[in-house]
Amino acid sequence: MSESPATRKPAALDWTQWLCPGPRRVFAAEEMARGGTQAWPSGIDRYVYGNTLVMLLIFGAELPEGWGLPVLLLSLGAAAAALGVARWLWRQPSRLRLNLASWLLTLVFVLGLLLYQGRGHPTPVLPLLVVTGALVTALSAWWFLTLYRVQQIEARLAELDEQARSLNLARRLATAQIQPHFLFNTLASLQHWVDTQDSRAGPTLRSFTRYLRATLPMFERDALSLADELAIVRSYLEVMQARLGERLHWELRAEPGLDALLLPPGALLTLVENAIAHGIEPSLRGGRIELQVRAEHGQVLIEVSDDGAGLVAAPCDGVGLANTRARLAQLHGEQARLEVLPQQPGCLSRITLARNP
């Protein structure tokens, strides 16, 4: 648990910091799994061992004859032990661990000094200063490492929280973009068909109900399977087929074995909506929409093509396409790509994913 900035005491006024200095923040296991997965920087090992050897070269001439190899092995062993403690702090940085390691090292130093003096040996000043300097350096390095690691994990957790907030906002924006004009126009058509006892009212109402049941809760989920996405698109196209009549023809084709592929909710629906809004509806003759899903060279290609009015200018992202790109990146990272390409006639939208992302 961590204190809020409003209630946190300054470090100088917190008596516990004088006895047990270190960060107040304690990370739960799920927080470490989420934000503390950074690898140990191997450059620290090279830095510590390199400086240890440099110090031995500088002070090696002051050592008694025959002490060179034992001091070298002892110094490298001490450096390895200090690095082991540093990795331990890196895996779970906390004030408890920092102070436990610091007090144990200080205790070993004091006991070793007392044991050496208890045998009647005079304490050489230079080695004592070197060992004391190494002790202070190790304690300071552990302290700074723990503070840095805590700040690193806190920053990563804050970044992930911000990404989650952005993703939730994208979902809400996508919901707002997909639903209103389609819902109101469809309701208006249904009302007219019911009033005129048009035979299209019943089938269209059933398709519209399936569409609503699938789409209203879908933006609360992180991902939908390809099979669920295709079912939503099918219901949408059935409704649009009733509204546009012979001006709209469509076909869905998906290779077997791809039903479990995960997509951002509404990704295919956005592409099909764009094809109808910018390709089919502006064309007096209407047109045809084809949605095809296939595996090719270790990738999955999802293509929505139409032979309608086509792109009037260079393709650019509207709200729907920008949200779809962002949510694809959230779900699949750099393995996902969304392209909007002109074709003669019409337009092609293509999502490319790794077969096993």
How far is Cα 37 from Cα 29, in angstroms, rounded to an integer?
Answer: 11
CB 126 within 8 A of CB 64: no
* Residue 171 predicted with pLDDT over 70: no
* Residue 214 predicted with pLDDT over 80: no
Q: What value does the mean pLDDT of the chain take?
A: 83
Strands of the sheet containing 248-254, edge to edge, are 248-254, 287-296, 299-306, 347-354, 337-342
| φ, ψ of residue 48 in degrees (nearest 5) | -65, -50
- pTM attached to this predicted model: 0.52
How far is Cα 264 from Cα 266, in angstroms, rounded to an integer?
Answer: 6
**In this predicted structure, which of 82-91, 147-156, 181-190, 312-321 has the lowest mean pLDDT?**
312-321
Read out DSSP for 200-257?
THHHHHHHHHHHHHHHTTGGGSS-EEHHHHHHHHHHHHHHHHHHHGGGEEEEEEE-TT
User: Quick one: CA torsion of 188, 191, 196, 199, rounded to 10 degrees?
Assistant: 90
Helix axes 180-195, 201-215, angle to 10 degrees: 150
| Extents of the domains making up the chain | 11-164, 179-354
pLDDT tens, position by position, 77-113: 999 999 999 999 999 999 899 999 999 999 988 888 8
Whole-number pLDDT of residue 9: 56
Q: How far is CA 344 from CA 11, 152, 253, 274, 341, in A?
A: 69, 52, 21, 17, 10
* Residue 315 predicted with pLDDT over 50: no
Question: 179-354, superfamily in CATH?
Answer: Histidine kinase-like ATPase, C-terminal domain (3.30.565.10)
